[in-house]
Structure 1
Amino acid sequence: MFIGHLPAGYLLAKSPVFARASRTVFWGVLLGSVVPDLDMLWFYFVDQGSTHHHDYLTHRPILWAAVLLIGALFKAGFLIGLAAGGLLHLALDSIAGKVTWGWPFSEVSMTLVTVQATHDHWIKSFLSHWTFKVELVLVAVALIVFVRSNFKGRSE
């Protein structure tokens, strides 16, 4: 997923699940929806691309489950939001990218859809695949929700 993580995080943060949550939780969800991809910095600048970034700890669901558990134990809304956003990120990555959901108990990673190499660069292949249209829909829906929630009641 290229552009869909943050809009999906926004939609989750605005959903009925978090409707009564604080702004701290809201920002936790937004941050969590993108923070797993901070491992790309390590991937490019340290690891030189030798290990796929989905194999790093930030893309392991057990990390985000642990953050969720800690947040719940300490009633830390930001951590709960961060974990929810992180788990959402991994769920979205599972559509066309491999995520090892059973780690550390299993090394099996799965993907729902395989994006074939149809172009000379992998990014072009992803951008031309139908799954990218799902991301565009996420962006459009998030923009609609944003506009409606920010301008609701102003014209009355």
Structure 2
Amino acid sequence: MRRTARLLTGAALAVTTVTGPLAASAYAAGTTGLEVYPSSVVPGGAVTVNSAACGDAGTAAGDASAVGAGHFTLAPSAREGELIGQFTVPPSAQPGTYEIVARCARGGREVRGDLVVTLTAVQPRGSVKTGVGGALGPDPVQTAAGVAALAVAAAGGTWLLHRRARGDGI
């Protein structure tokens, strides 16, 4: 048993040693761009951008003139080493994909992100297919049939229990 535990511990350590640097570099690679939230917006909507690519540069100059919003400033956020900024998409913006750019105050590094402008806000519709049924589905006939089946089962169960209690047997 002890040998198995040592073998498993050694295997886990080997996997951690091999994948640890890869996981760290993959995480670092994901933070080098400009994150745009929401990534899809309607004209007149507010957009927040953030990036950890500038490190502790203090600030960054943002440029959303491609969409017609002009320049904005990214300042330090609550998360250490991350900058955040906001701008509003003008009501006259046309649908399309626009590149948003930020230039770090120190070093002049540029980071980019995409913003999609749509004419209508995409609202979720329908139900989520989780595999668990709801009490009231979209079809009232199926709902009524289910309620009727439950009522028949309850009545039949009650009748059988009543017969058994009287001693009539099943």
Shared fold by TM > 0.5? Answer: no
Tell me the TM-score normalised to structure 1 length: 0.22
**Greater share of residues in strand:** 2
